[in-house]
Structure 1
Amino acid sequence: MKIVPLLSFLCLSVMQLAIGQQKQISLEEIYDGTFGTEGLEVLNSMDNGKQYSVLNFNRSSRVSTVDLYNYETQEKVETLVTSADFDEIPYFTSYEFSDDESKVILATEVEPIFRHSRLGIYYVYDVESKELTRISEQKIQEPSLSPDGSKVAYVFENNLYVLDLQASETTQVTNDGKINSIINGVTDWVYEEEFAFVKAFEWNSDGSRIAFLRFDESRVPEFSMDVFGQELYPYQYRFKYPKAGEENAGVSLNIYQLKKGETTKVDLGDPYYIPRIKWRNHPQHLSVQTLNRHQNKLVLYDVNAKNMKVSVLLTEKDDAYVDIHDNLTFLADDSFIWTSERDGYNHLYLYNEDGELMNQITKGPWEVTAYYGYDQEEDRVYYQSTENGSINRDVYAISSGGGDKLRLTKQDGTNLADFSADFTYFINTFSNAVTPPVYTLHLAEDGELVKELEDNSELKDMLKDYEFSPKDFSTLSINGNDLNMWMVKPADFDPSKEYPLLLFQYSGPGSQQVANRWMGTNDYWHQILAAKGIIVACVDGRGTGLKGRDFKKVTYQELGKYEVEDQIAAAKELSELPYIDPARTGIWGWSYGGFMSTNCLLKGNDTFEMAVAVAPVTSWRFYDTIYTERYMRTPQENASGYDENSPLNYPELLEGDYLLVHGSGDDNVHVQNTMRMIEALVQANKQFDWAIYPDRNHGIHGGNTRLHLYTKMTDFMIENLLKTDNQ
């Protein structure tokens, strides 16, 4: 077995801190915010590039303000708007400027619909006149100001509306919207979840037109969930949810011309998916991305809104699938920057306005992980990448021609950037496995430090009083690949003893759990388990991300095969270490990770003695079209891929201890997955433990829910992984 250490220097400082520590981390502290980090409020860079705005909320007075700050001095310049000035707004929870910054939309009384979608009462604040206008008497979705701030488009009950602020007149653009049937201007459930956007309309650059998507989901199968609530009778919540192989909503692109009050449907040749629309700088030209059902062919179109002529700008094809991203940027002349995996790694490309490739901006055996923007005046592209190792992130600048590359961040770990509008400054968020988030202001020209903003020193000092074990990074050679791994050992680790092993993983396509960044709540929980005497490890196997196209897409049409093989092989390899007891090996995961932990316990029943699966997929036949078919095609085309890796089909393989957990109100991975798994195990006469959390969604949270869940999982792991110690 070959384990190659990485970043071992990170561990030394933590080990030194650990000397003399006595306090134990508790679950109550994890979930009452004891270990929360201080951060910067979400900021909005103003067009002048010298200032930014922040939403502040005073908890004692319950007053919201939008305040302006100076980048260089970090001093407050002025308060743009305060809820204290208006009786109709007790406080607001978000804000959005018009392009010319003359108006601000303020959100109040916001309530969630699904993961990203919201309903709320919204107002428009005029910065100059200081007047406040309520957009609608009803709760609406996705209000959006025209570029000059004179109008607001929004969606109400699946129809698109436009409010003229000067004339105080509202125009209903569409009339056929109907719940669970026709949607205009916002996305359906599956687009929202898998293409990660809700607002499906866009203003053009001069505010004369609105492009919007229309969804006809009348033929999409309906899913229902029982909601138990607090009343005498429960009720059913129904919504359209296309499962793999079933019918999707028909989608069409339309352009509304405000002056004429006319809507025209754009002929795109009956596209299957339209995952992105974006106006170009020229007000008559719209870019549209379409995907076929297999999601292995993406076409970027230009639509001339004057004559509705459609032309192809570029086409992306892949033997497996093409990922959707938000990196399309149009330059002043409507040439554009785009990211693609066409050379085997995700990189930046420059095209002219007609879609002809000018050059590849970045290249190398590493991935561009974020695109921050283009400074036209300096001809500089700003991006984040894994050039310094796949578990690290750094921020770079490069010319559009691919020259003059400069690393702007200096510390190994995870670096995130937020640039000012004119690319004079950027705020860097840095963390690594032993450093909580540090926020610093830098010059974009060379990365020079301007000012330290927040370093979470109080949290770091507080943690010195706790028993704390280092996260040791390494690589593990498995099935011909060097897989990234971290391991956490008990603080009083004795190499002459044998410890149980618990693997944590997610393993979904393109994901990453082994990263050099600060701890999340699961990391704190793993510290509790380590303090109990359990070694916790995480291995990112084949199918995970940031190591190139081929490594990620090897799992195509076989979700749950190679990833499971890698976790079983990793557990076997680690069990050969002299300080790990091969008879006490567990694995746990959530969602895709729950699918994985269940499969590993069954297919690896000679390796794993215990598994915990939270909100797992148990058959990809139950999951949605866009996600599942991207990686598996349809069940009709790939029945063996679906069934041979579904734990529903081999429950008789269960030999170890198994805890199965789900929320009954999960609109994403339906509790149906767990109920079918329970039935399969019952009919196989296999004993197991399970828990259902009433009305909880995929996150299984709210009140004491998380504390209860993690207490249950902790007790289960102690009972089943440490049981030989208690005999």
Structure 2
Amino acid sequence: AVPERLTPNVPGTHSYTISPNAEWAFHTFTSFEVPPAFDVVHLPDHKVMRKTVDNAAVAERAKPLSGGPAEFVKVAAGNGLVVDAWLMKPPDFDPAKKYALIVYVYSEPAGQTTADRWPSMFIRALTSAGYLVASFDNQGTPAPRGREWRKIVYGNVGQLSSQQQAAALQSLEKTHPYIDPKRVGVWGWSGGGTETLDLMFRYPDVYSVGVSVASVPDQRLYDTIYQERYLGLPQDSPKAYEQSSAINFASGLRGDLLVMHGSGDDNVHFQGFELLVNKLLSLGKQFDMRVYPGRTHSISEGKGTTQDVYTNILGYFEDHLPPGASNAPAH
């Protein structure tokens, strides 16, 4: 039988909570340019019976923060692999000039960053400050690209993802000459914080500034239901854990690195952060750190905390990776 589309033919991300009798649903729609909108629909005709939340005004207010819509692209990531990516530009963007680029990364099997859905407003805060911002999905992320795409990361978490992330970035630089390859930063949270460490440690010639939030520097210290799913048992796969742990490559750090963590993190325990700090100290590496007493994995508890986190991420990039355009060298 020919597949029949049941959802609206509108590009973006649709999600549903369907009633027990399958006649009604709470429907959510979002895309990169459209903040989440919520309505009640009748099924199967998808007739909208009531709009519950409409965030169209948010989209209008956000428009001046970036230079036009995001550019969705496919880029080479080595060994014949092509991955999805997006690129956002600052206001008053001039393609004849060169810009600093910040990569927003996650890279873990638990999530993807290149789906067509409304991104964090902090992404637009970065473009508003004068940066290009990009993101890539390496193999292993939950993109609908088949079994091999997902399974290939078994026993090889940080090594493969960082290799593909770096290769994808360099491909984007070649096809977009207004990216300044000497001014590239990277940041991420949780698994993205871990990947930030991997990229800063393993590819110091590619990334010059990194901000790692709530990372897992040593894979042996994360919870069993997640880590053993992708790396096996530590006693059976010591090499896999060793090669997949960013802390074991900390000697490669040459750029500017800020690490941030909540001391009350009940997901990614503070012990790993302490091991990382001690490792960097033992190697004589200069770095910056910011600790939030008692905060959990979201580092959101307490008055002023969230503002402080994001102000310091942006501020660190502004201090070590100045934003804005520079004149491209004459050919």
Aligned residue among 705, 719, 722 for 2:305: 705
Check 1:452–1:493 CA distance in 2 against 1; reply closer, same or farther (3 A cut). Answer: same
Offset, 1:408: 3.2
Alignment of 1:30-179 (within 5 A): none
Offset, 1:691: 0.8
C-alpha distance in 2 between matches for 1:706 and 1:455: 25
Q: Does 1:564 align with 2:181?
A: no
C-alpha distance in 1 between matches for 2:189 and 2:292: 15
Check 1:648–1:405 CA distance in 2 against 1; reply closer, same or farther (3 A cut). Answer: same
Alignment of 1:664-683 (within 5 A): 664-683=263-282
Q: Is the 8 A contact 2:131 2:323 kept in 1?
A: no
C-alpha distance in 1 between matches for 2:299 and 2:209: 22
Question: Which residue number corresponds to residue 498 of structure 1?
Answer: 98
* Structure 2 SS opposite 1:650: helix
Query: CA offsets, 1:682-721, max 9 Å, x none?
Result: 1111101011110011111122111111111111001111
Offset, 1:458: 3.5
C-alpha distance in 2 between matches for 1:552 and 1:447: 32
Q: Is the 8 A contact 1:441 1:449 kept in 2?
A: yes
**Structure of greater relative contact order (alpha carbons < 8 Å, 6+ residues apart):** 2
Check 1:460–1:723 CA distance in 2 against 1; reply closer, same or farther (3 A cut). Answer: closer
Between structures 1 and 2, the one with greater helix share: 2
Offset, 1:453: 4.2
Query: CA offsets, 1:82-101, max 9 Å, x none?
Result: xxxxxxxxxxxxxxxxxxxx
Aligned residue among 229, 249, 265 for 1:630: 229
Offset, 1:410: 2.9
* Structure 1 SS opposite 2:112: coil
Aligned residue among 540, 561, 565 for 2:137: 540
Q: Does 1:420 align with 2:19?
A: yes
* Structure 1 SS opposite 2:92: coil
Alignment of 1:446-485 (within 5 A): 446-463=45-62, 466-469=64-67, 470-479=69-78, 480-485=80-85
Offset, 1:446: 2.7
C-alpha distance in 2 between matches for 1:445 and 1:558: 43
Aligned residue among 432, 442, 449 for 2:31: 432
Offset, 1:593: 0.8
Question: Which residue number corresponds to residue 654 of structure 1?
Answer: 253
Q: Does 1:606 align with 2:205?
A: yes
Check 1:510–1:625 CA distance in 2 against 1; reply closer, same or farther (3 A cut). Answer: closer
**Structure number, greater radius of gyration:** 1
Question: Which residue number corresponds to residue 152 of structure 2?
Answer: 554
Question: Which residue number corresponds to residue 88 of structure 2?
Answer: 488
* Structure 2 SS opposite 1:514: coil
Q: What percent of counterpart residues are identical?
A: 33
Check 1:621–1:454 CA distance in 2 against 1; reply closer, same or farther (3 A cut). Answer: closer
Check 1:698–1:573 CA distance in 2 against 1; reply closer, same or farther (3 A cut). Answer: same
Q: Does 1:575 align with 2:173?
A: yes
Q: Is the 8 A contact 1:594 1:615 kept in 2?
A: yes
Amino acid at match of 1:552: R
Query: CA offsets, 1:558-608, max 9 Å, x none?
Result: 110110101111222223332111111111111111111101111101111
Check 1:505–1:461 CA distance in 2 against 1; reply closer, same or farther (3 A cut). Answer: closer
Query: CA offsets, 1:289-337, max 9 Å, x none?
Result: xxxxxxxxxxxxxxxxxxxxxxxxxxxxxxxxxxxxxxxxxxxxxxxxx
Question: Alignment RMSD, CA only?
Answer: 2.1
Question: Which residue number corresponds to residue 109 of structure 2?
Answer: 509
C-alpha distance in 1 between matches for 2:129 and 2:170: 22
C-alpha distance in 1 between matches for 2:273 and 2:173: 30
* Matched length: 321
C-alpha distance in 2 between matches for 1:661 and 1:461: 33
Instruction: Structure 1: state its 5+ residue gaps.
Output: 1-401
Instruction: Structure 2: state its 5+ residue gaps.
Output: 327-331
Query: CA offsets, 1:66-92, max 9 Å, x none?
Result: xxxxxxxxxxxxxxxxxxxxxxxxxxx
Q: Is the 8 A contact 1:439 1:453 kept in 2?
A: yes
Amino acid at match of 1:533: G
Check 1:723–1:419 CA distance in 2 against 1; reply closer, same or farther (3 A cut). Answer: closer
